[in-house]
């Protein structure tokens, strides 16, 4: 997903099978009782360091905010406040860091900052756009709808993840305003649907598929579920059957044809969103999930048939026969978030063949990452945790990951807080996130 903040929900909702294996196996005693104490001590020390690091970063940012009550970029030298970075990645990570280490900052500094952000960055109704910090003006002279939709849905993913962990707050209100305004401005009218959708862009629509079901549950507003199914039906019945089963980046609904027939594995939000919604529908009714089965089965077959050693080629081109062929010069990518979504869907719908196909690929990921550049695992780290924890017996994979992940915690990137917070998972076992009020 190329760094989208959806990873924060993947990391922070991981409260299950990974936790008992998350310590340092080399320090575990042969005695079962001693092993538990040693593992607890190891996890406690990891959590102490991680919480301290997360709080230090939070305090640094809050201090900057108090010196300058306007917008602040994550790095002081940045001259622009960018939605995809300073809203979508930084704000959710800071809220979660405050929740775990300094809760008094939630109704204070961070809530006030959200109000400032909304008033300073809203451009199309309440949808944000990038701001030049020197002038206070928008970076771009024109309000490009696609750019603003893309940044807004990335930001909304992070706010949705925060609400699922921290509970409702000003971040939830900001989330609702963004989603409501995306649909208030919706003007793309697919053939055969009962209403418009916000965009012809698969990433924008895919992000919304992953947000809307949660909003429906938190607010008891059926409109959000209706909107999710409107987007899903648009692609299941109107788009994917006509292009070989893979969602191209952009579709021209006025002409009912793709603007670009290439499929990029860097952009898989639509498939992840369909898998997410399909799994939730399956948990309610197997019948409801029926429409998702052939679509996800065909898409997975197209992708996995062209995979190599646990990775996928970044680009797939039409083969002229209604299918796709991998561009082997495009490089390989792991896409752990998409694989986790497909695996969860396969299990919820008892799609055994799809489940086995995903598992075969997942078991190769340690070898894939060991061959790849270190930055690959650094950027994928939280999503890989979630994927491995989805396995029935993830001990080997998590032990491998644990030996490579701790060095990433001091990385000076917008993900620094998130990477440290992800180490606190052993402390969170059994904690149930607050319900929406």
Read off the DSSP letter of residue 289: G
| Higher pLDDT among residues 418 and 254, named by residue | 254
Question: How many of the other CB atoms lie within 10 Å of CB of 32?
Answer: 8
Closest CA to 101 of 91, 93, 113: 93
What pLDDT sits at residue 31?
A: 58
With cut-offs at 50, 70 and 90, classify the pLDDT of residue 139: very high
Task: Name the residue with tokens 């992070």.
Answer: 158
Torsion on CA atoms 24, 47, 339, 398, rounded to nearest 10: 10
Q: Among 147-151, 267-271, 336-340, 398-402, name the most confident range.
A: 147-151
Res. 123: pLDDT tops 50:
yes
Please give the full DSSP string across 171-234, using - where no structure is assigned.
HHHHHHHHHHHHHHT--B--TT-SS-BS-SBHHHHHHHHHHHHHHHHHH--HHHHHHHHHHHHI
| Higher pLDDT among residues 397 and 221, named by residue | 221
Sort 3 into a burial class: Cβ within 10 Å, 0-12 / 13-18 / 19+: middle
- Interval 394-405 mean pLDDT: 68
Question: How many of the other CB atoms lie within 10 Å of CB of 103?
Answer: 11
Residue 342 belongs to what domain range? 6-428
Helix (H) or strand (E) holding 312: strand 312-313
Contact yes or no for 87/120 (Cβ under 8 A): no
Helix (H) or strand (E) holding 333: strand 332-333
| Higher pLDDT among residues 15 and 254, named by residue | 254
List, in sequence order, every residue forming a beta bridge with 317; answer none if it has no partner. 325
Q: Measured between alpha carbons, how far is 307 from 311 in angstroms, rounded to an integer?
A: 6
433 located within any domain: no
Please give the full DSSP string across 271-291, using - where no structure is assigned.
HHHHHHHHHHHHHH-TTGGGG
Note the pLDDT tens digit of each residue in 350-389: 999 999 999 999 988 888 888 875 557 777 776 777 787 7
1 located within any domain: no
Percent helix, strand, coil in the chain, to 5, is 60, 10, 30
With cut-offs at 50, 70 and 90, classify the pLDDT of residue 26: very low
- CA 253, chain centre distance (Å): 26
Q: Measured between alpha carbons, how far is 108 from 318 in angstroms, rounded to an integer?
A: 52
Q: Measured between alpha carbons, how far is 187 from 195 in angstroms, rounded to an integer?
A: 9
Q: Measured between alpha carbons, how far is 110 from 222 in angstroms, rounded to an integer?
A: 30
437 located within any domain: no
350 located within any domain: yes
286 located within any domain: yes
Name 230's Cβ contacts closer than 8 Å, sequence gap at least 6: 193, 194, 195, 197
What pLDDT sits at residue 30?
A: 54
Question: How many of the other CB atoms lie within 10 Å of CB of 410?
Answer: 10
What pLDDT sits at residue 93?
A: 82
What pLDDT sits at residue 15?
A: 25
Work out whether the CA dihedral 120, 123, 127, 129 comes out positive or negative: negative
With cut-offs at 50, 70 and 90, classify the pLDDT of residue 7: very low
Q: Measured between alpha carbons, how far is 270 from 6 in angstroms, rounded to an integer?
A: 13
Helix (H) or strand (E) holding 176: helix 170-184
Contact yes or no for 153/208 (Cβ under 8 A): yes
What CATH number does residue 96 fall under? 1.50.10
| Higher pLDDT among residues 423 and 95, named by residue | 95
Share of the chain above pLDDT 90, in %: 35
What pLDDT sits at residue 72?
A: 81
436 located within any domain: no
| Count of structural domains, the chain | 1
Note the pLDDT tens digit of each residue in 267-291: 788 999 999 999 988 988 767 788 9
Least confident of 120-134, 174-188, 270-284: 270-284
Note the pLDDT tens digit of each residue in 308-334: 888 888 888 877 777 788 888 888 888
Contact yes or no for 176/23 (Cβ under 8 A): no
Least confident of 63-67, 233-237, 396-400: 396-400
What pLDDT sits at residue 151?
A: 96
Q: Measured between alpha carbons, how far is 307 from 361 in angstroms, rounded to an integer?
A: 8
What pLDDT sits at residue 403?
A: 63
Res. 306: pLDDT tops 80:
yes
What pLDDT sits at residue 78?
A: 85
Tell me whether strands 257-258 and 251-252 are parallel, antiparallel or unpaired: antiparallel
Coil, strand, or helix at residue 251?
Answer: strand
Contact yes or no for 131/85 (Cβ under 8 A): no
Total residues found in the chain within this entry: 437
Task: Name the residue with tokens 């690929």.
Answer: 361
- Interval 40-64 mean pLDDT: 75
111 located within any domain: yes
Read off the DSSP letter of residue 234: I
Average pLDDT, the chain: 79
Coil, strand, or helix at residue 34?
Answer: helix
- Interval 430-436 mean pLDDT: 31
Torsion on CA atoms 393, 396, 400, 406, rounded to nearest 10: 50
């Amino acid at each position: 997903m190329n760094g989208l903040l959806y990873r924060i929900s993947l990391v922070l909702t991981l409260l299950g099978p990974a936790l008992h294996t998350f310590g340092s196996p080399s320090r575990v005693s042969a005695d079962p009782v001693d092993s538990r104490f040693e593992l607890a001590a190891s996890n406690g020390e990891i959590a102490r360091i991680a919480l301290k690091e997360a709080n230090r970063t939070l305090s640094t940012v809050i201090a900057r905010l108090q010196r300058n009550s306007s917008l602040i970029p994550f790095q002081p030298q940045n001259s622009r406040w960018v939605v995809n970075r300073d809203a979508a990645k930084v704000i959710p990570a800071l809220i979660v860091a405050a929740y775990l280490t300094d809760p008094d900052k939630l109704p204070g500094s961070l809530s006030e900052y959200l109000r400032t952000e909304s008033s300073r960055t809203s451009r199309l109704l309440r949808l944000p756009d990038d701001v030049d910090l020197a002038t206070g003006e928008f970076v771009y002279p024109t309000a490009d709808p696609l750019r603003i939709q893309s940044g807004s849905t990335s930001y909304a993913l992070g706010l949705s993840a925060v609400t699922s962990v921290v509970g409702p707050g000003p971040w939830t209100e900001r989330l609702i305003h963004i989603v409501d305004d995306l649909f208030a401005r919706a003007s793309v009218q697919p053939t055969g649907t009962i209403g418009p959708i916000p965009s012809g862009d698969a990433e924008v629509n895919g992000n919304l598929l992953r947000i809307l079901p949660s909003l429906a549950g938190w607010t008891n507003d059926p409109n959000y579920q209706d909107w999710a199914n409107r987007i899903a039906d648009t692609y299941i019945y109107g788009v994917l059957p006509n292009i070989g089963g893979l969602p191209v980046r952009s579709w021209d609904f006025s002409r009912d044809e793709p603007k670009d027939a290439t499929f990029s594995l860097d952009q898989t939000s639509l498939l992840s969103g369909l898998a997410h919604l399909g799994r939730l529908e399956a948990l309610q009714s197997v019948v409801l999930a029926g429409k998702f089965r052939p679509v996800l089965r065909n898409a997975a077959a197209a992708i996995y048939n062209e995979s190599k050693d646990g990775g996928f080629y970044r680009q797939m081109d039409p083969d002229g026969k209604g299918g796709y062929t991998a561009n082997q010069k495009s490089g390989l990518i792991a896409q752990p978030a998409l694989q986790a979504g497909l695996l969860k869907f396969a299990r919820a719908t008892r799609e055994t063949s799809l489940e086995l196909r995903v598992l075969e690929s997942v078991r190769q990921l340690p070898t894939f990452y060991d061959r790849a550049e270190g930055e690959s695992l650094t950027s994928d780290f939280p999503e890989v945790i979630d994927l491995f924890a989805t396995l029935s017996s993830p001990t080997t994979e998590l032990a491998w990951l644990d030996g490579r992940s701790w060095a990433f915690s001091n990385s000076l990137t917008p993900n620094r807080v998130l990477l440290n917070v992800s180490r606190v998972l052993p402390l969170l076992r059994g904690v149930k996130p607050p319900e929406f009020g």
